[in-house]
């Protein structure tokens, strides 16, 4: 039994770097803007009024639950919500008969609303073990943990979690199969690694949970597609891309894509949350915003996806 009924979906998520998003996205009346990770509509609700008159926002999310939250937050406004990945903005626009857009925003990763649903498996105390953003397709974290060989698990935990005890943790996971809940996984990891030290202690399973979520949702591959294939084909010349990332694996990719492609980088350094915001919303502490202006150019000139490090076959098995 899951506890989804115990948690009425309510938008608990607080949008990060809101003023900074509005500054760098610079929405103007008449523009068409894609919010590629609309979530509960936190950023979108502030963008939509700035597009009037004549503009509109297209909000995408892979998670049907989040789209429901966005629908209530954005009801009555000029926006369209679509169940799709931000990597597929091109085909969404084609369906809507829109050739190119003025800006694209992505606020990567997990929403506090997804974390709050303990049947989803994103939190350390979760009763579930799913971790998919798109709950309508693809293998879950439970499938991965219970089916992948130890060396594949170790590679995932090492590369996507940057966890030094990856091999030891992977062996313990295999020894304890079947793993049935995120809480069970968190406990296995806690017992496998030395106790955390220092002032800024994090839960010992933080890196393992990050790694699994990245693997289950192919987060880095999807981000690479967005940066190298999607944005160059959907932005108008002079159009803006704004990306908020929450760990170095994402931020590094955004930084490199903007630096190496035909972009004018607008943020020389990543924009981070003020002290005030960090105190009020701890989630904002790791947020890094980068913005760039698309200078046109042939999409094929930009580098192709390069994330070939973790290639297991558990997905296909
Ligand atoms: C940090 S939340 C966004 C919060 C939103 N900006 C707000 O203020 O309410 C990230 C959202 O991105 C969604 N997501 C993750 N990967 C995605 C993808 N490839 N395409 C579309 N949505 C994605 C998640 O389901 C989640 O709802």
In SS3 terms, 191-229 reads as HHCCCCCCCCCCCCCHHHHHHHHHHHCCHHHHHHHHHHH
Whether 273 shows a pLDDT value over 80: the answer reads yes
Ligand 1 close to Cβ of residue 62 (< 6 A): yes
Query: In which order are the strands placed within the sheet that holds 263-265?
Result: 79-83, 56-61, 32-35, 101-107, 235-245, 288-294, 263-265
Whether 311 shows a pLDDT value over 80: the answer reads no
Rounded Cα gap, residues 46 and 194, in angstroms: 45
Ligand 1, atom 7, lies closest to the CA of 42
Residue 305 in contact with residue 253, Cβ under 8 Å?
no
Ligand 1 close to Cβ of residue 86 (< 6 A): yes
Q: What pLDDT does residue 303 have?
A: 44
Ligand 1 close to Cβ of residue 40 (< 6 A): yes
Measured in angstroms, how far is the CA atom of residue 85 from the centroid of ligand 1? 9
Question: In the beta sheet, which residues pair with residue 67?
Answer: none
Burial status of residue 27 (CB atoms within 10 A of its CB: 0-12, 13-18, 19 or more): buried
Whether 141 shows a pLDDT value over 90: the answer reads yes
Encode pLDDT of 98-107 as tens digits.
999 999 999 9
Q: What pLDDT does residue 302 have?
A: 47
Measured in angstroms, how far is the CA atom of residue 13 from the centroid of ligand 1? 11
**Over residues 9-38, mean pLDDT:** 93
Measured in angstroms, how far is the CA atom of residue 39 from the centroid of ligand 1? 5
Measured in angstroms, how far is the CA atom of residue 220 from the centroid of ligand 1? 14
- Domains annotated for the chain, with CATH where assigned, are 4-112+219-301 (3.40.50.150), 129-216 (1.10.150.170)
User: Which of ligand 1's atoms lies nearest the C-alpha of 18?
Assistant: 8
Output the average pLDDT for the chain.
91
Residues 6+ positions from 311 with CB-CB distance below 8 Å: none
Encode pLDDT of 5-18 as tens digits.
333 445 788 999 99
Rounded Cα gap, residues 105 and 31, in angstroms: 13
Closest-CA residue to 145 (of 122, 187, 176)? 176
Ligand 1 close to Cβ of residue 245 (< 6 A): no
Ligand 1 close to Cβ of residue 117 (< 6 A): no
What pTM did the predictor assign?
0.92
User: Which of ligand 1's atoms lies nearest the C-alpha of 113?
Assistant: 27
Residue 121 in contact with residue 110, Cβ under 8 Å?
no
Measured in angstroms, how far is the CA atom of residue 268 from the centroid of ligand 1? 25
Q: What pLDDT does residue 34 have?
A: 98
User: Which of ligand 1's atoms lies nearest the C-alpha of 36?
Assistant: 21
Ligand 1, atom 5, lies closest to the CA of 39
Question: In the beta sheet, which residues pair with residue 271?
Answer: 289
Q: Return the higher-pLDDT residue of 309 and 154.
A: 154
Ligand 1 close to Cβ of residue 246 (< 6 A): no
What's 271's DSSP letter? B
Confidence class of residue 230 from pLDDT cuts 50, 70 and 90? Answer: very high
150-161 and 206-216 are packed helices; what angle lies between their axes, rounded to 10 degrees? 110
Ligand 1, atom 15, lies closest to the CA of 109
Residue 240 in contact with residue 294, Cβ under 8 Å?
yes
Q: Where are the alpha helices (DSSP H) in the chain?
A: 18-25, 44-47, 64-73, 89-95, 112-116, 141-147, 150-161, 166-175, 182-192, 206-216, 219-225, 231-234, 248-260, 275-280
Cis omega (within 30 of 0) for bond into 53: yes
Measured in angstroms, how far is the CA atom of residue 131 from the centroid of ligand 1? 13
Ligand 1 close to Cβ of residue 66 (< 6 A): yes
Whether 315 shows a pLDDT value over 60: the answer reads no
Rounded Cα gap, residues 212 and 219, in angstroms: 10
What's 230's DSSP letter? I
């Amino acid at each position: 039994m899951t506890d989804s009924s115990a948690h009425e979906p309510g938008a608990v998520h607080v949008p990060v770097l809101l003023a900074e998003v509005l500054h760098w996205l610079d929405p103007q009346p008449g523009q068409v803007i894609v919010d590629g990770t609309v979530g509960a509509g936190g950023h979108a609700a502030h963008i939509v009024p700035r597009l009037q008159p004549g503009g509109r926002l297209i909000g995408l999310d892979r998670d049907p639950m989040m789209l429901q939250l966005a629908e209530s937050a954005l009801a009555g406004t000029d926006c369209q919500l679509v169940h799709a990945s931000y990597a597929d903005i091109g085909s969404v626009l084609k369906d809507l008969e829109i050739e190119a857009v003025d800006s694209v925003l992505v606020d990567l990763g997990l929403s506090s609303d997804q974390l709050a649903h303990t049947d989803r498996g994103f939190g350390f105390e979760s009763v579930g073990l799913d971790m998919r953003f798109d709950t309508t397709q693809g293998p879950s974290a439970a499938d991965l943990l219970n089916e992948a060989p130890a060396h594949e698990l170790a590679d995932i935990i090492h590369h996507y979690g940057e966890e030094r005890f990856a091999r030891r943790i992977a062996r313990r996971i295999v020894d304890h199969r079947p793993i049935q809940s995120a809480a069970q996984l968190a406990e296995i990891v806690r017992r496998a690694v030395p106790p955390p030290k220092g002032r800024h202690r994090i839960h010992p399973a933080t890196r393992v949970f990050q790694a699994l979520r990245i693997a289950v949702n192919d987060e880095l591959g999807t981000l690479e597609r967005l940066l190298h294939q999607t944005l160059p084909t959907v932005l108008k010349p002079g159009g803006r891309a704004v990306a908020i990332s929450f760990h170095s694996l994402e931020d590094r990719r955004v930084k490199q894509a903007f630096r190496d492609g035909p972009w004018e980088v607008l943020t020389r350094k990543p924009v981070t949350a003020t002290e005030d915001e960090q105190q009020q919303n701890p989630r904002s502490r790791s947020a890094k915003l980068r913005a760039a202006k698309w200078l046109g150019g042939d999409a094929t000139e930009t580098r192709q996806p390069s994330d070939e490090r973790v290639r297991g076959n558990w997905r296909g098995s």
